[in-house]
Amino acid sequence: MMRILLFLGTNLAVIVVASITLRLLGVEGYLRGQGINFNALLIFCFIFGMAGSMISLFISKWMAKRSTGTVVIETPSNATEKWLLDTVAELSRDAGIKTPEVGIFPAQQSNAFATGWNKNDALVAVSAGLLNRMRPEEVRAVLAHEIGHVANGDMVTLALIQGVVNTFVMFFARVVAHLVDGFLKSRSDGAGLGFMGYFAVVIVAEIVFGIIASAIVAWFSRFREYRADAAGAQLAGSGAMINALARLKAETQMPDQMPDTLRAMAITKGQTKSLMERLFASHPPLDDRIRALKEAAYR
């Protein structure tokens, strides 16, 4: 449950901060006017909703390095690091993208992630545990999966989707507050929500709509995982990709050392059990991903 709350909190924080900014700048009063200016409201919500998402995207690589302790390989210091750089360069060339930065982060669980604001300025990182326990062909498959994320533009796509849902969360929250305010005025001789009451309803509505929006973003994230798996299978071979996912499944009982802000892009997520966890999971269950690859291989 804590993981779910943190996942939702990341998305809702942008919306709440934007709402407070709108209030401090006096925009809320303008938007309400003599009723509600829907065109102006939608424009303001779009600007603030997209701004937070885009800022997060542009600093994603910097945040990833700091939060995971990733050390970027500038010059390889051993055979493993040289192989890692050469493999990522080869996969990137096959995928038609510029070679991303390559790094290693100090987690004992086998894991990996990709991030960056565009496909030609990305970061691919693997955990020390993954390098220590996986066979080279399995590591290559995991790297191919992450290269697939980069080549598919998943970071940009998810940021855009998050920005759009943020826009509508903010917009509909204020529509709800306006309707509640109008209802109270009609029932109490013109006494509506008032300044603080209106703002309180907006925040509550944003939290409710934000939870629904997070489920939508999570669904799309799960869809993109299947595409990244397919890309990994194409670049590294179906057998290697399936074996890598099976190895990851065997390690799901180990403590997860990925920061919550990067779990959506970590390859090992998806072993959820409850309906609530499945609804907000950023990754599909590993069994489903393995089954999808096997079915594709037999077509």
Helix (H/G/I), strand (E/B), else coil: 105: strand
Annotated binding site for Zn(2+): 145, 149, 225
Q: Is 28 a catalytic residue?
A: no
Please state, in angstroms and as integers, the Cα–Cα distance from residue 226 to each residue in 230, 241, 294, following that order.
6, 12, 12
Q: What is the pLDDT of residue 239?
A: 93
Q: What is the pLDDT of residue 92?
A: 96
* Residue 277 region by backbone torsions, left for phi larger than 0, else alpha for psi between -120 and 50, else beta: alpha
Spatial neighbors of 62 by CB under 8 A, at least 6 apart, are none
Q: What is the pLDDT of residue 1?
A: 32
Distance CA 75, CA 3 (A): 36
Q: What is the pLDDT of residue 3?
A: 34
pTM: 0.79
Catalytic residue among 74, 146, 206, 295: 146
Q: Residue-wise pLDDT tens for the chain (299 aa)?
A: 333 344 445 555 666 666 666 666 665 555 555 567 777 778 888 887 888 788 888 888 888 888 888 999 999 999 999 999 999 999 999 999 999 999 999 988 888 999 888 889 999 999 999 999 899 999 999 999 999 999 999 888 888 898 898 889 888 988 888 888 777 777 766 666 676 787 788 888 888 888 888 888 888 888 899 999 999 999 999 999 999 999 988 876 655 555 544 554 455 554 555 666 777 788 888 999 999 999 887 76
- Residue 100: closest CA among 60, 150, 170: 150
